Amino acid sequence: MLTRSSFHSALPAAYQPKPVPIHRCQCHYSGRVQGVGFRYTARNIAMRFNVTGYVRNLPDGRVELVMEGPREEIEQMIAAIADRMSGHIRQVDTSILPANGEFSHFQIRH
């Protein structure tokens, strides 16, 4: 039986799938971002993209979003959140960090 891994190893190098680099992005949203469904909206949006991580409220009134995935997926998710929650976001501070693969899915943290 030809498994997926044996199939890929049997292909010439030019035909083998190239690994997609995974990035980590941390965003801190400020404005009226708590009590408006921000975390649930972010989680629902994340389900449409190839990202893992979490979203949570911070004690200072901001919302923290940490995610890992391919750069294009991260950028599209950030854009989708900005589009959907634009009336509530005053500022976003974003940091790109090395991915460490700690997440298996995307979740709301409490």
The pTM for the full model equals: 0.83
CB under 8 Å to 8, separation ≥6 — which residues? 16, 17
Instruction: Report pLDDT for 8.
Output: 52
| Domains with residue ranges and CATH for the chain | 36-110 (3.30.70.100)
Please tell me the distance from the alpha carbon of residue 13 to that of residue 23, in angstroms, as a whole number.
25
**Identified catalytic residue from 39, 44, 62, 90:** 39
Instruction: Report pLDDT for 16.
Output: 66
Instruction: Report pLDDT for 63.
Output: 98
Instruction: Report pLDDT for 37.
Output: 97
* C-alpha gyration radius of the chain: 17
Instruction: Report pLDDT for 2.
Output: 47
**Identified catalytic residue from 43, 50, 56, 57:** 57
Sheet strands side by side (includes 52-57):
89-98, 23-31, 63-69, 52-57, 106-108
Q: Are 36 and 63 in contact (CB under 8 A)?
A: no
Has 24 been annotated as catalytic? no
> pLDDT by residue for the chain (110 residues), tens digit each?
445 545 456 666 666 677 778 999 999 999 999 999 999 999 999 999 999 999 999 999 999 999 999 999 999 999 999 999 999 999 999 999 999 999 999 999 99
Has 32 been annotated as catalytic? no
Two structure tokens written together for 11: 């292909």
